[in-house]
Amino acid sequence: MDLKLDADELNACVQCGLCMPHCPTFRVTGDETLSPRGRIRLMREVHEHDAPMTAEVVDAFATCVQCRGCEPACPSGVNYGHLIETTRETLTRAGKLTPRWTRLGFFALAHPRLLRAGSSVLAVAGRLRLVPKRFGVPRDLPLRRRRHHTSGTDVYLFTGCVMDAWQRDVHQAGQRVIEAAGFGVTPTGSLSPCCGALQAHAGFTDDARRRATATIAALSEDDRPILVDSAGCGAAMKDYGHLLATPEAEAFSARVFDIQEWLAERIDRLPAVDPLPMCVAVQDPCHLRHVQRVHLATRTVLQPFVRRIIELDDDGLCCGAGGAYSVMQPELAGEIRDRKIRAIDDVDPDVVASANPGCSMHLAAAGVNIEHPMVLIDRALQGTASAGGR
Amino acid sequence: MSLLDRFRRTSNVADPLVTALQHALAPDRVRNDGAERSLASHDASVFEGGVSGPVCFPTSTDEVQRITRIAVEHDRGIVPRGAGTGLAGGAIPLGAPIVVSTGKMNRILEVDIENRVAWVQPGVINLDLSRHLRPRGFHFAPDPSSQQVCTLGGNIANNSGGPHCLAYGVTDAHVLAIEVVLPNGDVVLLGGLDPEPGGYDLRGAFVGSEGTLGIATRIAVRLTKNPPAVRTLLLSFAETRDAAQTVSAIIAAGIVPAALEVMDQRMTVAVENYVAAGYPTDAAAVLLAEVEGLPAGVEIEADRIAEIGRANNATGVRQAASDEERALLWKGRKTAFGAVAQVAPDYYLHDTVVPRAALADMLEKIYEICERHDVIVMNVFHAGDGNLHPLLVFDARVEGTLERVHAAGAEIVRASLDAGGVLSGEHGIGVEKQGYMDELFSDADLDHQNRLRQAFDPTCRANPGKVLPMGHSCADIQALRAVPTGVWG
């Protein structure tokens, strides 16, 4: 079967296996079909030698979290992200991977009113305990959200879809921090409802391209920086250049910054305040650490505002959230999360900081006290040192 | 249960061997589908031609014993598999044997700091053990370049070395006792925790036996105290010969560094491109030298090494200023093999050892051989013990390349043996180096090695077709078995 893979990208792998321990699904199963090296060999067998696309092969591709922890580990620079995204796109097109009905859910992402209405229903249902726990949906979703307000035109703050409906308080904390550094912020709100990351992840690449095109069109009136406080969205938007392969998309991607990455360069502009009396463990979202590779900025921006930063000793292994992964592969996602929780317990922090909504929901569902770094900084700036988690 | 499980098709129907294995373990820990078997028939070498039977994922000695008894009952071979990072085809199954993956036997069972011993399962990753010990100030000394992924079971099977084995000795020196499931299903304990266990040293025979004497299921390893001080030097040279000479001179001066590693220019360029550690890409060769010990001692030794380097025309001498810098230099050295895909998608390497004094000549010989066969070669080696790793890099898709590569490889091996060297420093014989065994050993040597093997495994059930060349190994009926392999081969 033609997987539409680039022959050179596929052959960049010498099968040395150094990626394997950095793969969460291999770590928890010890099974090579669930490792990057294994998946690449299966791609080769199918793509180059026409091996049949059996259920086990489909499963190997379906179970990849797409955390891309294997990429920084690869001395030959194999672009695993491209390989797995293309493979999943081909399989989704052929109706072998993501069930078609899930497209309905992705449709809602790009329609903010529908999404917010649905979220409010979920919020009520959650409070009534009507949502199965395995869906990983927080029980305390907000019933209503405070409206966005524009404070200036220095930067855009990209608000996205699910995050805007479920965690708007994080956007608003981030906005206050950026304003405290002296910049005017335009939250994108319904101007640009969804970046398309989840669609690309699921293999609905055409949908993702449509979202990318719309996002670029909506935010290209001028060339101000676009700050993103969701690591997954930021990674996707920085990859528009590859996804659409146009000069406009390249130029757009160059304007995208993770909010911490951007703030780290301007951290001196924030006032000196009393740090929160807490030890904070940093849980790096994969798409911040392995894909955007700007995770050190989290330390830079947090450091002045908390008592101590603690590192997890797990090489930045994924937590198992992976966009919709925790819903599609709950068993593996749970095992991967257990490993992360052991690493967190080992350092016993007051709170965990994670700059991605998926990770924080996935870990919070297992009882981890977790906050976005921007929320912690905002709290320190407001002088409200209360330790409450969500 | 995942949403996709509903579409899962089981291909494990009605094979009595598979049924028996599933009954002995658990249905989901025995895989007989084409995808799993295809991956289990490869390792990190270029060898094609492996055929895997069912792949089992046991979790205990007891389960390995049950698998072995089923193998006896069904007259099948049995091959242990760790991380599959071997470079000599040692884990590649021949003749559709049962593959026993240690992927789920990855627990550190007990750490006894007082006696400096840890009991581990064979699937524990080498670096995971050292990380686990780090807070207590200890580590497991053998550090193969693949240590971030390779398993202790595999280290024992190959008697693996690593950069720091120059000072500490290879795996054999760090394994005290091994619980083994023999090829007939008996469980025995080889070696012991006492400093001098009585009787024959069967533990010593087992270490390096490449899975042909049975399967290790519990291992007692020796723990090594982390050194109080470490100095790492990077020396660059305009001539490869000068690097080799520096190595000899350092040892001749009575210094035993913890590690002495050389990379040639092609290798250094590929590595630097990945790690950006500041390796000089214009040097013909770089020498990474590390000394460990008490702070005062390492200062003196580091200065001596720098001096010797300069006396041998080193064009640059740099000392790592921080732990981060040191870690980055080592990351580069240890990911060297993986970095070759930047040059070409395949590589084939030998692992011969030559006397240190012959290193410089041998390197020149290697370049000459490869040039004659029109093959690109990248060199990275444990210079301190004369252990060469010439990587012949190529693109297997180009017609006729593999033949040239093999011809060049064969010449390199012969030249190494002529220089008074041996076949393998640490990667093992596997299937790749089998054909060279009778160039190194006499018929009588090989026959006696085979007798040892038969004492453990009279029916050649354990990793059939490996190490000993045909004609000297017990019939190897297993390897010749014709087994229908299905579409996924």
User: Pick from B49, B78, B101: which residue ends a domain?
Assistant: B101
Q: Which two tokens stand for residue B352?
A: 């011969």
Contact B35 A33 (CB under 8 A): yes
- Residue A202, min C-alpha distance to chain B (Å): 13
Question: For A55, which of B9, B125, B270 is closest by C-beta distance?
Answer: B9
> Does the pLDDT value for residue A20 go beyond 50?
yes
Residue whose tokens read 């052959």: A11
For A53-88, how does the pLDDT look when each residue is reduced to its tens digit (9 = 90+)? Answer: 999 999 999 999 999 999 999 998 999 999 999 999
Confidence of residue A133 (pLDDT cuts 50, 70, 90): low
Q: 3-class secondary structure for B180-232?
A: EECCCCCEEEEECCCCCCCCCCHHHHHCCCCCCCCEEEEEEEECEECCCEEEE
> Does residue B176 sit in the same domain as residue B219?
yes
Q: Which two tokens stand for residue A87?
A: 């493979």
* Residue B431 belongs to a domain: no
Calpha distance A70→A77 (Å, rounded): 10
> Does residue B214 sit in the same domain as residue B270?
no
Calpha distance A342→A327 (Å, rounded): 22
- Residue A321, min C-alpha distance to chain B (Å): 15
Residues of chain B in contact with residue A332, where contact means CB-CB under 8 angstroms, are 2
Q: pLDDT at position B474, please? A: 59
Task: Write the single-letter amino acid at B369.
Answer: I
In sequence order, what DSSP letters do the residues of B363-389 get, joined into one string? HHHHHHHHHHTT-EEEEEEEGGGTB--
Contact B42 A75 (CB under 8 A): no
* Residue B397 belongs to a domain: yes
Contact B7 A58 (CB under 8 A): yes
* Residue B436 belongs to a domain: no
Which chain A residue lies closest to B131 (C-alpha atoms)?
Answer: A313
Q: Which two tokens stand for residue B482?
A: 């014709």
* Residue B434 belongs to a domain: no
> Does residue B166 sit in the same domain as residue B255?
no
Confidence of residue A120 (pLDDT cuts 50, 70, 90): confident
Task: Write the single-letter amino acid at B179.
Answer: E
User: Pick from B337, B371, B395: which residue ends a domain?
Assistant: B337
Contact A59 B338 (CB under 8 A): no
- Residue A69, min C-alpha distance to chain B (Å): 14
Contact B335 A18 (CB under 8 A): yes
Number of structural domains chain B divides into: 5
Calpha distance B243→B261 (Å, rounded): 10
Contact A17 B44 (CB under 8 A): yes
First-last CA distance in chain B: 29
Q: Closest Cα partner for A233 from A325, A295, A161?
A: A161
Contact B35 A56 (CB under 8 A): yes
Residues of chain A in contact with residue B346, where contact means CB-CB under 8 angstroms, are 14
Give me the sign of the Cα torsion angle A312, A318, A323, A329. negative
- What are the residue ranges of CATH 3.40.50 in chain A? 271-382
- In CATH terms, A271-382 corresponds, of 1.10.760, 1.20.120, 3.30.230, 3.40.50, to 3.40.50
> Does residue B57 sit in the same domain as residue B12?
yes
User: Pick from B317, B337, B357: which residue ends a domain?
Assistant: B337
Task: Find the helix or strand (DSSP H, E) in which A282 lies.
Answer: strand A276-282
For strand A306-311 and strand A276-282, is the pairing parallel, antiparallel, or unpaired? Answer: parallel
* Residue B171 belongs to a domain: yes
Q: How many CB pairs under 8 A join A and B?
A: 139
Which of A9, A25, A33, A48 to probe by mutation at the B interface, max B CB count within 10 Å?
A33
For A236-283, how does the pLDDT look when each residue is reduced to its tens digit (9 = 90+)? Answer: 999 999 999 999 999 999 999 999 999 999 999 999 999 999 999 999
Per-residue confidence in pLDDT tens, chain B, 489 aa: 343 443 344 444 569 999 999 999 999 999 999 999 999 999 998 888 899 999 999 999 999 999 999 999 999 999 999 999 999 999 999 999 999 999 999 999 999 999 999 999 999 999 999 999 999 999 999 999 999 999 999 999 999 999 999 999 999 999 999 999 999 999 999 999 987 888 899 999 999 999 999 999 999 999 999 999 999 999 999 999 999 999 999 999 999 999 999 999 999 999 999 999 999 999 999 999 999 999 999 999 999 999 999 999 999 999 999 999 999 999 999 999 888 888 888 888 889 999 988 999 999 999 999 999 999 999 998 998 899 999 999 988 888 898 999 999 999 999 999 999 999 888 889 988 888 898 889 999 999 999 999 999 999 999 999 998 877 765 454 444 444 444 454
Domain CATH code at residue B61: 3.30.43.10
Q: Closest Cα partner for A40 from A76, A13, A71?
A: A13
Task: Find the helix or strand (DSSP H, E) in which A278 lies.
Answer: strand A276-282
- Residue A352, min C-alpha distance to chain B (Å): 22
- Residue A64, min C-alpha distance to chain B (Å): 13
Yes or no: say if A46 and A60 are a contact pair by the CB < 8 Å rule. no
The angle at the Cα of B41, spanning B37 to B47, to the nearest 5 degrees, equals 160
- Residue B188, min C-alpha distance to chain A (Å): 26
Q: Closest Cα partner for B168 from B207, B222, B231?
A: B222
Q: Which two tokens stand for residue B14?
A: 């009605």
Q: Which two tokens stand for residue B169?
A: 């000795």
> Does residue B240 sit in the same domain as residue B326?
yes
Give me the sign of the Cα torsion angle B320, B322, B327, B328. negative
Yes or no: say if B388 and B379 are a contact pair by the CB < 8 Å rule. yes
Which of B148, B324, B427, B487 to probe by mutation at the A interface, max A CB count within 10 Å?
B148
Q: pLDDT at position A90, please? A: 94
Calpha distance B144→B155 (Å, rounded): 8
Question: For B38, which of A18, A45, A75 is closest by C-beta distance?
Answer: A45
Calpha distance B384→B357 (Å, rounded): 11
Q: pLDDT at position B481, please? A: 46
Calpha distance A119→A194 (Å, rounded): 15
Judged by average pLDDT, the poorest of A50-59, A127-136, A165-174, B422-431 is: A127-136
| Boundaries of domain holding B84 | 3-101
With H, G, I as helix, E, B as strand and everything else as coil, classify residue B67: helix
Q: Closest Cα partner for B275 from B328, B342, B338?
A: B328
| Strands across the sheet containing B55-56 | B30-31, B55-56, B98-101, B78-81
Give me the sign of the Cα torsion angle A287, A290, A296, A299. positive
For strand B108-112 and strand B78-81, is the pairing parallel, antiparallel, or unpaired? Answer: unpaired
Residues of chain A in contact with residue B42, where contact means CB-CB under 8 angstroms, are 15, 41
> Does residue B179 sit in the same domain as residue B271?
no
Q: Closest Cα partner for B185 from B90, B93, B62?
A: B62
Q: A52: how many CB neighbours lie within 10 A of its CB?
A: 13
Question: For B42, which of A41, A57, A329 is closest by C-beta distance?
Answer: A41
Q: Angle, to 10 degrees, between the axis of helix A102-109 and the axis of helix A112-127?
A: 110
Which of A5, A6, A16, A335 to probe by mutation at the B interface, max B CB count within 10 Å?
A16
Contact A54 B33 (CB under 8 A): yes
- What are the residue ranges of CATH 1.10.1060.10 in chain A? 7-93
> Does residue B43 sit in the same domain as residue B73?
yes
- In CATH terms, A7-93 corresponds, of 1.10.150.530, 3.40.50.1010, 1.10.1060.10, 1.10.3720.10, to 1.10.1060.10
Task: Find the helix or strand (DSSP H, E) in which A227 lies.
Answer: strand A226-228
> Does residue B171 sit in the same domain as residue B251?
no
- Residue B216, min C-alpha distance to chain A (Å): 17
Residue whose tokens read 């899975």: B211
Q: pLDDT at position A136, please? A: 64
- Residue B270, min C-alpha distance to chain A (Å): 8
Helix, strand, coil tally for chain A in percent (to 5): 55, 10, 40
Domain CATH code at residue B239: 3.30.70.2190
Yes or no: say if B259 and B384 are a contact pair by the CB < 8 Å rule. yes
Q: Which two tokens stand for residue A323?
A: 């966009």
> Does residue B376 sit in the same domain as residue B446?
no
Contact B149 A17 (CB under 8 A): yes
> Does residue B161 sit in the same domain as residue B131?
yes
Q: Of chain A residues 31-70, which have a CB less than 8 A from chain B? A: 31-33, 38, 41-42, 45, 51-52, 54-60, 62-63
Question: b/e for A97-111, b at 16 or more Cβ within 10 A?
Answer: bbeeebeeebebbbe
Q: Closest Cα partner for B99 from B77, B117, B120?
A: B77
Yes or no: say if A352 and A284 are a contact pair by the CB < 8 Å rule. no
* Residue B160 belongs to a domain: yes
Query: pTM for this structure?
Result: 0.91
> Does residue B217 sit in the same domain as residue B112?
yes
